[in-house]
Amino acid sequence: MPERTLLDADPEIAKLIDEENRREHETMRLIASENYASRAVMEATGSVLTNKYSEGYAKKRYYEGQQVIDQVEELAIARLKKLFGATAAAGGEDDLHVNVQPYSGSPANLAVYLAFCSPGDVVMGLGLPAGGHLTHGHTVSITGKYFKSVPYGVRRDDHRIDMDEVRKLAKEHKPKLLWAGTTAYPRILDFAAFRSIADEVGAILAADIAHISGLVAAGVHPSPIGVADVVTSTTHKTFRGPRGGMIFCKKAHAAAIDKAVFPGLQGGPHNHTTAAIAVAAREALEPSFKEYAKSVVANAKVLAGALVEKGFGVTTGGTDNHLMLVDLTSKNIAGKPAAQALDRAGIVANYNAVPFDPRKPFDPSGLRIGTPAVTSRGMGKAEMEKLASWIDRVVAKSTDEAEIAKVAAEVKDLCRGFPAPGIRV
Ligand code: DSN
């Protein structure tokens, strides 16, 4: 008897996937951490590799039957070494160790703590309200509960990371671990300055490039590889792979990192994800990926400029990367109702705190907007300008459902002309 398809076996889930497929096709995806994985990446993710257990690392596994899995993992690592070794400030591929097993970005970051810190150690990272990540020591995260977290911030006047404050705090608190990484920060990170501060106080420097790894791979953002002791990333943001994680480190730290990931934190790696990471790395090695990453940044600059022209506050005045933080205070609307109205108009972003936000995190003043996904659809300057006009119209009339429906129809129309990679239309 032939096997049942998803539609036959589970029509409810099949229908929901179909609905999500349509939603992703007909709306503008502006969530800065999202993208469209290619058909090839999704095929690898949905493969038989999901069936196999393989605790351990290539040639050192705890289960038999790894003839294929070892090759998959070694291929993923080799491609990532080639890609990121080429961006390295020092050492290149020769001093680069890669672990592709973290389930995602947060587990990758936890592995860094396990590899280098003991409970109670001082750790420093960019505070969440200033654009940092939960796992860089925020109080509600295990990283802020098990370690003594000393967050640094951004300057009040220009909203850029204050390296003088980082140095001052580091000298005062002597962190074991210093994070250089962000989730909502639109400017280039000065990894060399972080390195010199870490050296001055004897800290391990960890760079979290989850948001920017695609830009780093393409040489569009400076690389911390060869600068930081360890570099973590997700694989599904600008890198445009499956949902997963990866860690790069100097060879001196390889054993500590590998031991922290397995058996320290995880069991069997998700081999289907590893294969899809290998596919994404191969795609990122193609010259077209460099062009893609350049366009992500160019689009973000155009969109930020167009929003500024329309009277929106854009923190730091613009962007160097794939995202911008829009402060809606001048438009007399908070981030959440604006994000909800935009969602009804088919423009999907997330509400976000802005630096020194007087409002609460669940009802903040801003929006975070990113261009990785719309750029994957081939959209460019003209579409970014249109997008700014739509955002302006919706924000100005956020309770006018007729106007929102008009924008939604225009958005849908435009999206039809830019099929997203991986989406079955
Ligand atoms: N959730 C991710 C983001 O949106 O930036 C970070 O983990």
Q: Which domain holds residue 387?
A: 294-416
> To 10 degrees, the CA torsion angle through 135, 139, 143, 149?
100
Q: Residue with the nearest Cα to atom 2 of ligand 1?
A: 33
Q: How far apart are CA 220 and CA 283, in angstroms?
A: 16
Same domain, 234 and 130: yes
152 as an active site residue: the answer is no
Gap from CA of 26 to ligand 1 centroid (Å): 23
Instruction: Give the CATH number, domain containing residue 402.
Output: 3.90.1150.10
53 as an active site residue: the answer is yes
Q: What is the pLDDT of residue 264?
A: 98
Tell me, yes or no, whether 372 lies in a domain. Answer: yes
Residue of 140, 183, 243 to mutate, ligand 1, most atoms within 8 A of C-beta: 183
Number of domains the chain is built from = 2
Catalytic pick among 79, 195, 237, 377: 237
Q: How far apart are CA 60 and CA 43, in angstroms?
A: 27
Tokens for 378, please give them: 């081939």
Residue 284 phi/psi, 5° resolution?
A: -70, -20
Tell me, yes or no, whether 138 lies in a domain. Answer: yes
Instruction: Give the CATH number, domain containing residue 269.
Output: 3.40.640.10
Tell me, yes or no, whether 33 lies in a domain. Answer: no
Same domain, 271 and 322: no
Same domain, 273 and 321: no
Q: Answer whether 0.95 is exceeded by the pTM.
A: yes
Q: What is the pLDDT of residue 28?
A: 97
Catalytic pick among 24, 53, 310, 392: 53
Gap from CA of 219 to ligand 1 centroid (Å): 22
Same domain, 126 and 273: yes
Q: How far apart are CA 215 and CA 405, in angstroms?
A: 35
DSSP reduced 3-state for 355: coil
Tell me, yes or no, whether 40 lies in a domain. Answer: no
Q: Is the CB of 33 under 6 A from ligand 1?
A: yes
Tell me, yes or no, whether 101 lies in a domain. Answer: yes
Q: How far apart are CA 261 and CA 259, in angstroms?
A: 6
Q: What is the pLDDT of residue 88?
A: 78
Q: What is the pLDDT of residue 90?
A: 66
Q: Residue with the nearest Cα to atom 6 of ligand 1?
A: 183
Q: With a cut of 50, which residues of the chain have pLDDT below it?
A: none
Gap from CA of 132 to ligand 1 centroid (Å): 10
- pLDDT tens for 87-137 read 877 677 888 999 999 999 999 999 999 999 999 999 999 999 999 999 999
Same domain, 314 and 259: no
**Index of the ligand 1 atom closest to the CA of residue 184:** 5
Which residues lie closer than 8 Å to 171 by C-beta, 6 or more apart?
200, 201
Q: How far apart are CA 58 and CA 63, in angstroms?
A: 11
Q: How far apart are CA 59 and CA 61, in angstroms?
A: 6
Same domain, 299 and 401: yes
Same domain, 304 and 278: no
Checking DSSP bridges between strand 96-99 and strand 245-250, what pairing results, if any?
A: antiparallel
Q: Is the CB of 371 under 6 A from ligand 1?
A: no
> To 10 degrees, the CA torsion angle through 294, 100, 113, 166?
-10
- Which helix (H) or strand (E) is 173 found in, with range? helix 163-173
